[in-house]
């Protein structure tokens, strides 16, 4: 968790729906917000935190093992009109990728991250701003046939949440197929 006043980072260990321990990791500054948790370092079993600077758009990864920060890396800067949409192994198993959405155009962009570096990016397409991202899922989360999906929640059409029939599987090469399409309505 991140404290928005002090900039402090706190880890909570959870086992069987109970907090079993906590650890204070340090303070990064009040203008940094936790964007997601995943494996950006490519170290098996390690959980990393990606943070974003609300003033500059900078992205920073903190590697965490045994409730301690073991390393960090600055990934770069993205415009403030891009917001965090999710973390999932979109380009393949082994590491987590960052998905951002442009709040002006509705475009989605995936940033492939391995060894704490951006190794590539691809457009996932765009949808109208009246659609909100309901979540990211990887099924299965690892393995040669990992399949990442964006699942959208429908808003503004009176239809409620979109079902899994609206989830579009990612092609083998995400740069060759737009992931998102305009929703079809009766």
What spatial distance separates the first Cα and last Cα of the chain, rounded to whole Å? 43
Note the pLDDT tens digit of each residue in 30-82: 888 888 888 888 888 788 888 899 999 999 999 988 888 888 999 999 899 99
Two tokens, residue 180 = 């998102």
Distances from the Cα of 175 to the Cαs of 14, 49, 124, in angstroms? 37, 26, 8
Q: Are 107 and 123 in contact (CB under 8 A)?
A: yes
**Cα distance between residue 99 and residue 83, in whole Å:** 9
pLDDT tens digits in sequence order for the chain, 186 residues long: 777 777 777 888 888 888 888 888 888 888 888 888 888 888 887 888 888 999 999 999 999 888 888 889 999 998 999 988 888 777 766 678 888 889 999 888 888 888 899 988 888 888 888 777 766 665 544 444 444 444 433 233 333 333 333 333 333 443 333 333 333 333
Closest by alpha carbon to 29, among 56, 58, 55, 4? 4
Two tokens, residue 71 = 């390393």
pTM attached to this predicted model? 0.69
Q: Are 122 and 106 in contact (CB under 8 A)?
A: no
Beta bridge partners, 38, equal 48
DSSP conformation class of 79: -
């Amino acid at each position: 968790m991140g404290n928005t006043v002090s900039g402090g980072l706190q880890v909570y260990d959870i086992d069987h729906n109970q907090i079993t321990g906590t650890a204070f990791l340090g303070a990064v500054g009040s203008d940094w917000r936790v964007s997601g948790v995943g494996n950006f370092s490519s170290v098996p079993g390690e959980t990393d935190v990606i943070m974003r600077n609300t003033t500059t758009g900078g992205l920073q990864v903190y590697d965490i093992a045994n409730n301690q920060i073991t390393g960090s890396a600055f990934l770069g800067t993205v415009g403030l009109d891009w917001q965090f949409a999710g973390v999932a192994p979109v380009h393949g198993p082994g590491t987590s990728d960052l998905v951002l959405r442009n709040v002006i155009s509705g475009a989605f962009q995936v940033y492939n991250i391995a060894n704490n570096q951006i190794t590539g990016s691809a457009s996932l397409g765009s949808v109208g701003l009246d659609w909100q991202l309901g979540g990211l899922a990887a099924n299965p989360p690892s393995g040669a046939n990992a399949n990442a999906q964006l699942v959208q929640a429908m808003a503004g059409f009176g239809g409620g949440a979109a079902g899994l029939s609206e989830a579009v599987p990612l092609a083998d090469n995400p740069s060759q197929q737009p992931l998102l399409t305009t929703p079809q309505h009766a």
